[in-house]
Amino acid sequence: MDLYDRDNLKAFLVTLFGNQANNWPMSEKMFNLTFELVSESSACSSAMAFVPRPIPYGQTPFKWLAKEVRSKFLKRLKNDKEHYVICLKAAAYRMVGKFQMASQGV
Amino acid sequence: MKKIPVLLFIFSLFFVTESFSDTLVLSSKLKVDYPNPVLISHTENTLIIKYENWSFLHNIVNPKEIYHTIDLTGLEKDFILSIFEQKTNSNFPEWLNALSREQAKEFGVTSSNVLRRKINLSEIIGVYDKKRNSGYLYVFDETKIHHFVIYGSEEKYNLLVSYIKER
């Protein structure tokens, strides 16, 4: 991920999870978990509109999606983060442990 | 004959490995006795206990951090119970009842899969979501609410419940 993508991802995750996300590394794993979080929520489908799906079995979203698509996806999340915080909060609470594990590299 | 002491030694090693455990003290009256993990990690507020093919996490419920943008102070116990009981709480505003229903759906709560158990004055409530191979447990002790999340099989979820004991 380039610096711009990492900034967008961090801005989104901090809005969703609070200050703890400031210390999380914006890695490929974090992108994949974010993609999983958003893609599983039908209430938040707008960010997925331009993402080719389904992801082939065994592929990770980060590897499957072209760089441009990843960047557009992250830009949409950042720009509409207040909307996503509302529609994703229950899913985020379910998944926060996975993000915490990924942040520790475990 | 020489093989017998060797076999006894190997057997004793196996026994020691299996029975070895660590203790996580939850309160003056509650503890978790868990087998030796592969690793233990700690974030700002969460303890991660990791095994080869499963993990569990523990934190104390902070009503200001369940949802980053909502302060549930004073309502946290009722809110968490409402997730599992799937009943409309007449003391809640409608948006909070809606959020409770949404969280129940995320946890995979149904009318038949909620676990409830008492340990003296403490109560355990939880659910295992087969679809996501994840379990969510809350332990209400006298002063705190403990939150456990397990990523692994239902068998491990049930084991974790059995690890929570009186001190």
In 3D space, the residue among A89, A72, A82, A97 whose CA is nearest the CA of residue B79 turns out to be A89
Predicted confidence (pLDDT) per residue in B110-165, tens digit? 999 999 999 999 999 999 999 999 999 999 998 999 999 999 999 999 999 999 99
CB contact under 8 A, B105 and A94: no
Question: By mean pLDDT, which of A100-104, B4-8, B42-46, B92-96 is the weakest?
Answer: B4-8
| pTM for the predicted model, two decimal places | 0.88
CB contact under 8 A, A15 and B102: no
- Mutation for A interface: B68, B102, B131, most A CBs within 10 A: B68
CA distance linking residue B123 with residue B141, whole number of Å: 7
Q: Average pLDDT over chain B, rounded to whole?
A: 90
Q: What was the pLDDT predicted at A50?
A: 67
Whether A71 contacts chain B with CB within 8 A: no
pLDDT band at B62 (very low <50, low <70, confident <90, very high): very high
Query: What DSSP line would sit under chain B, residue for residue?
Result: -THHHHHHHHHHHHHHHHH-EEEEE-SSSEEEEEEPPSEEEE-SS-EEEE-SS-EEEEEE--TTTSBTTB--TTTHHHHHHHHHH----TTS-HHHHHHHHHHHHHHT--TT-EEEEEETTEEEEEEEETTTTEEEEEEE-SS-EEEEEEES-HHHHHHHHHHEEE-
What tokens does B130 get? 């087969």
Q: Which long-range contacts (CB under 8 A, 24 or more apart) does A48-56 make?
A: A48/A73
Whether B149 contacts chain A with CB within 8 A: yes
Count of CB pairs separated by less than 8 Å, A with B: 57
Q: What was the pLDDT predicted at B88?
A: 84
Confirm if B33 and B21 have CB atoms less than 8 A apart: yes
Predicted confidence (pLDDT) per residue in B125-139, tens digit? 999 999 999 999 999
- Asked if the model's pLDDT at residue B106 lies above 80, the reply is yes
Confirm if A103 and A24 have CB atoms less than 8 A apart: yes
CB contact under 8 A, B68 and A18: yes
The residue ranges of every structural domain in chain A are 3-47, 53-103
In 3D space, the residue among A97, A103, A90, A94 whose CA is nearest the CA of residue A9 turns out to be A103
Q: What is the mean pLDDT of each run of 10 residues along chain A (106 residues)?
A: 94 95 96 92 67 77 88 91 89 96 96
Whether B136 contacts chain A with CB within 8 A: yes
CB contact under 8 A, A106 and B39: yes
B1: closest CA of chain A, how far (Å): 46
What tokens does B121 get? 């004055």
Where is A43: in which H helix or E strand? none
CB contact under 8 A, A89 and B44: no
CB contact under 8 A, A94 and B57: no
CB contact under 8 A, A98 and B107: no
Confirm if B61 and B138 have CB atoms less than 8 A apart: yes
Tell me the three state secondary structure of residue A75. helix
Q: What was the pLDDT predicted at A65?
A: 87
- Asked if the model's pLDDT at residue B166 lies above 70, the reply is yes
ipTM of the complex in this document: 0.88
What tokens does B3 get? 């093989």
Q: What was the pLDDT predicted at A57?
A: 79
CA distance linking residue B148 with residue B161, whole number of Å: 10
A68: closest CA of chain B, how far (Å): 30
* Residues in chain A closer than 8 A to B135 (CB atoms): none
CA distance linking residue A30 with residue B73, whole number of Å: 30
In 3D space, the residue among B162, B106, B73, B141 whose CA is nearest the CA of residue A98 turns out to be B106
How large is the average pLDDT for residues B61-69?
93
Whether A16 contacts chain B with CB within 8 A: yes
Q: What was the pLDDT predicted at A47?
A: 67
Q: How far is CA B86 from CA A9, B74, B103, B111, in A?
A: 34, 20, 10, 8
Q: What was the pLDDT predicted at B16?
A: 46
* Residues in chain A closer than 8 A to B40 (CB atoms): none
Predicted confidence (pLDDT) per residue in B48-60, tens digit? 999 999 999 999 9
CB contact under 8 A, A94 and B106: yes
Whether A21 contacts chain B with CB within 8 A: no
The number of residues making up chain B comes to: 167
